[in-house]
Structure 1
Amino acid sequence: MTRFVRILAVAAASVAVLGAAGAGYWWGQSRTDAQALADPAAQAIERKALYWYDPMVPDQRFEKPGKSPFMDMQLVPKYADGASENGIAIAPGVRQNLGIRTVAATRGRLEVAVRVPGTIGWDLRQERVVSARADSIVERQHIKTPYERVRAGEALVSIVAPAWSTALAESQALGRARSASARTLQSASHERLRALGIPAGTGRGGRMTLTSPIAGVVSEIGIREGQSAGMGALLYRINGTATVWVEAAVPQSGLFGIAAGTPAEVSVDALPGRIFRGEVEALLPQVDVGSRTQRLRIVLNNPQGVLAPGMFAQVALQPSTGDEHPLVPTEALIASDGQMRLILLGEDGAFRPVRVQTGRSSKGMTEVLTGLQGGERVVASGQFLIDSEANLSGALQRLGSDSDASAMAAENAMPPAASMRSGERKPLYWYDPMMPDRHFEQPGKSPYMDMQLVPKYPDEAESPESRP
């Protein structure tokens, strides 16, 4: 019951809107007729109606005026001069009453600011790893806590390598020998020390102290005092803080104009009002399958070390503007069936629909890639009413056709009665326009609304709304 009440509400609203549009258009045509009668020059021009129609059921045409058999309203006349070259003529007074507003399509470059979230991380180019060059035992730790700042050359850990102890003892014994054979073995002893990776300054017993290669933060400690560490085992990981990386995920639709060198501004909640400026270093060559985003990397200077890895950041990118294109208000675009179109006001005062291909959008404006040259008058308000009337006149169906003129001539030349002969056209079924998915085998009154059922003919294009 709730769904049926909601359907009735939507139907009532649709009837009110379409009824108001039809009444406004009929009133405009009536005013035009009155002005023509008052003007002696216009009296010589005979305006003959091609047919009459119900705005609620525009695909049904009638030879004579009267009351609609479907809705409680008068039929609306369709004049031959109401559409010229796929255009719709509307009286100036009616334009003002309907709130139709036009603007000029100007050529320019659209400035688009892409704003995405990001995360601050270590600059891995400044990362250093301190490891054991031989099987050793940790004798003493000088730095015991992670995330402690260290200076370049500061002592980190003292280790003892038993394998080094034997090699050092042999080298020292050969160094004190005076015989010719001992001096011959000294060079071989030094080669052995280099092969074992014994650094300079290693003391007796294979003891040595490892120091920090750079100034930074100890981000990881892999051992503790008294533990044994195998050859190549990580002892300390140290990261520099002079620069940091900011990684952000950009949607595919916002990647246009973003490349290495694109300026970027980064802000963090921990430092309100402070802006860090940098540039895109690289677009990472991988797209996330789930979110359809591509990650990019920004390098920021961090001399004071105030930016810490893990901070949430807001990234504002300034992509290149690209070529000039006609720019129109985004609200002027009409989306239908996966396509975009605009309503243009011609020099003859007629409104015409034009199919366009759009590009980027920013600050209420949209690029038009194809369909406009620039300088055209575009309807920015009230375009949906004109679009509905263009649909009634068949202008939209003839968009992109190579035989527009012949199609209009054939339509205007065909008598309306020819399309309504019951002997030539047999309805497939009858339906309620408010409930198009319900079909009936016989004509009559709708069980849902206070209106007559509408026939559906085989030669009529089936709309998605009327499919069962």
Structure 2
Amino acid sequence: MDPNYRRDKAGKSPMGMDLIPVYEENETSQNSGPGTITISPDVVNNIGVRIVKAEYGPIHSEINTVGYVQYDEDKLVHIHPRVEGWVDKLYVKAAGDPIKKGQPLYKLYSPELVNAQEELVLALNRNNVRLIKAAEDRLKALQIANSVINQIKQTRKVQQAITFYAPQSGVIDNLNVREGFYVKPGMNLMSVGDLSTVWVEAEIFERQAELVKAGQAVTMTLDYMPGTKWIGKVDYVYPTLNDETRTVRVRLRFDNEDYALKPNMFAQVTIATGEEKEKLMIPMEALIRTGDQDRVVLALGEGQFKSITVIAGNIGESHVEIINGLEPGEEVVSSAQFLLDSESSKTSDFKRMHHEDSKPRSVWVEAKIESVMTEHHMITAAHSAISEWDWPAMTMDFSVSENIDLSTLSKGTQLHMEITNSDTEYYEITGIHIKESGTSTVNEESATEGDVKLQSIDDESMNHNKHQEKNTQMDSSESSEHSHHQHSGM
């Protein structure tokens, strides 16, 4: 809507949008702060304004993401030869072929296997029990099946090519060998994957990682079978973060007894994170999300509204957590809020009016220096309680203004210092009164009384001459010798 287009009566803008009545500001609206708009009850009713309260409650949180079906690697077996040789016969022809446990996979000719068989035959002929046991153990270590060993013992004949069998049922994957291939230890000939259960690898955002725990229920749907849902669980949350996508990998496990789930399928998953502790929340529709901030339209009463910024947290099925910006019981607009926001945001400072921070930006407090960090221009000081900020007495590290000479400070120095809150998390020492021994409490209004050295960011360089206060009352006609203090802002 063009904010410069105005009319003296109701109607539509050149863009076809309904004009919103704006009334002359009265004393109440003027005191409500920038961005406050006032509309009549009739208009509130006509545009369908609905107001809800911010209140505490459990957020039923779900995380929606996508993932890919993969083999359950706990049930994925890789086939490697333990000797050098040549593939004499291959019983499986292509990846994806189903296989049963004990079914032959390939036949291998290897001189090393021939020698191992000859050792067994020689031990049998000599009837040497120890040699027979050693020869059998060697054949087993080379993955020769017990049925083959028993056959050699019965026939006492060496087999030139040995058959190797599937260790489990499943499907063939990563078939990297053909008949006649020369193979050696370390080569992955093929893999056998069991699809009775599958994994789904998904990714969640960094801020969602703490919500996902192993064992939580997961619902999955696939595009190729609309209307069908699979129920699984979170199997593992990976401990590392992808520094490029800022996401965390999550492994989900699903039963797949009918083998409908196949590796590399694309899946939509929903992770039920369960009920959380009660948190301040508002309906999802009340939150206005822009490119650089989240905000809501605050209902101030008597037809007044204002857009303010908030910090949103976890998102549930129908509500969103508000971390900062609202107080329990405050009312926000959940319907027609975009119309009100478009008008209020033109002049709003997006700050709450009736909860402005009344705490002073700077305070003076008694303190004692614990240490001086000259290289960082910082000090550690134990200060008394600060009632203005609701601070108890404690020891803290403070940055010190560049205009204050740290050479005048040392461990044990008693002083009266000014702490300034530059922003919500940054506190700086901007003024100090160094108390001499025997001096009582010093305040900024009476900085010229007593023996005091004064430094402040409001004075470029101040030299204070000490003076001696006389015990007897001075006559009004006598000139008192006091050093002059340049003291601004204290």
Which range, TM-score by smaller chain? Answer: 0.5 to 0.7
Distance 1:329 1:15, change over 3 A: farther
Q: 1:268 aligns with which of 222, 239, 247?
A: 222
Deviates more, 1:283-292 or 1:131-140: 283-292
**Cα deviation 1:288-310 (Å, max 9, x = unaligned):** 33333222111111111121112
Give the partner amino acid of 1:345: L
For residue 166 of structure 1, give the secondary structure of its aligned residue in structure 2. Answer: helix
For residue 78 of structure 2, give the secondary structure of its aligned residue in structure 1. Answer: strand
Give the partner amino acid of 1:261: G
Give the partner amino acid of 2:356: L
Give the partner amino acid of 1:250: I
Is the 1:136–1:231 contact (alpha carbons within 8 Å) kept by the matching residues of 2? no
Q: 1:301 aligns with which of 217, 234, 255?
A: 255
Task: Report the CA distance between 1:232 and its aligned residue.
Answer: 4.0
RMSD: 4.0
Is the 1:288–1:294 contact (alpha carbons within 8 Å) kept by the matching residues of 2? yes
**Cα deviation 1:321-372 (Å, max 9, x = unaligned):** 31222332445456797464552436x8876776643223456643223444
For residue 232 of structure 2, give the secondary structure of its aligned residue in structure 1. Answer: strand
Counterpart of 1:375? Answer: 329
Give the partner amino acid of 2:197: T
Task: Report the CA distance between 1:112 and its aligned residue.
Answer: 3.5
Give the partner amino acid of 2:60: E
Counterpart of 1:142? Answer: 91
Task: Report the CA distance between 1:275 and its aligned residue.
Answer: 0.8
Counterpart of 1:24? Answer: 22
> Where do 1:239-250 residues align within 5 Å?
239-250=193-204
**TM-score normalised to structure 1 length:** 0.60
Task: Report the CA distance between 1:268 and its aligned residue.
Answer: 1.4
Q: 1:400 aligns with which of 351, 357, 363?
A: 357
Task: Report the CA distance between 1:172 and its aligned residue.
Answer: 2.0
Counterpart of 2:456? Answer: none
Query: Quick one: distance in 1 between partners of 2:295 and 2:57?
Result: 20
**TM-score normalised to structure 2 length:** 0.58
Q: 2:101 aligns with which of 141, 152, 160?
A: 152
Task: Report the CA distance between 1:282 and its aligned residue.
Answer: 1.3
Query: Quick one: distance in 2 between partners of 1:371 and 1:395?
Result: 8
Is the 1:266–1:277 contact (alpha carbons within 8 Å) kept by the matching residues of 2? yes
Query: Quick one: distance in 1 between partners of 2:272 and 2:46?
Result: 40
Query: Quick one: distance in 2 between partners of 1:399 and 1:335?
Result: 23
Counterpart of 1:422? Answer: none
**What residue ranges of structure 2 are gaps of 5+ in the alignment?**
10-18, 153-157, 362-490
Query: Quick one: distance in 2 between partners of 1:326 and 1:370?
Result: 9
> Where do 1:49-448 residues align within 5 Å?
79-82=26-29, 93=41, 96=44, 99=47, 101-177=50-126, 200=146, 201-202=148-149, 203=152, 204-255=158-209, 257-333=211-287, 338=293, 340=295, 342-345=297-300, 356-362=310-316, 365-380=319-334, 381=337, 383-384=340-341, 387=344, 391=348, 396=353, 399-402=356-359
Give the partner amino acid of 2:341: F
Question: How many residue pairs end up in the alignment?
Answer: 338
For residue 326 of structure 1, give the secondary structure of its aligned residue in structure 2. Answer: strand
For residue 165 of structure 1, give the secondary structure of its aligned residue in structure 2. Answer: helix
Question: Whose helix fraction is larger, Structure 1's or Structure 2's?
Answer: 1
Is the 1:150–1:215 contact (alpha carbons within 8 Å) kept by the matching residues of 2? yes
Distance 1:148 1:374, change over 3 A: same
**What residue ranges of structure 1 are gaps of 5+ in the alignment?**
1-9, 27-77, 405-468
Is the 2:286–2:332 contact (alpha carbons within 8 Å) kept by the matching residues of 1? yes
Is the 2:71–2:199 contact (alpha carbons within 8 Å) kept by the matching residues of 1? yes
Distance 1:84 1:217, change over 3 A: same
Deviates more, 1:354-363 or 1:276-285: 354-363
Is the 1:24–1:94 contact (alpha carbons within 8 Å) kept by the matching residues of 2? no
For residue 368 of structure 1, give the secondary structure of its aligned residue in structure 2. Answer: strand
Task: Report the CA distance between 1:213 and its aligned residue.
Answer: 0.7
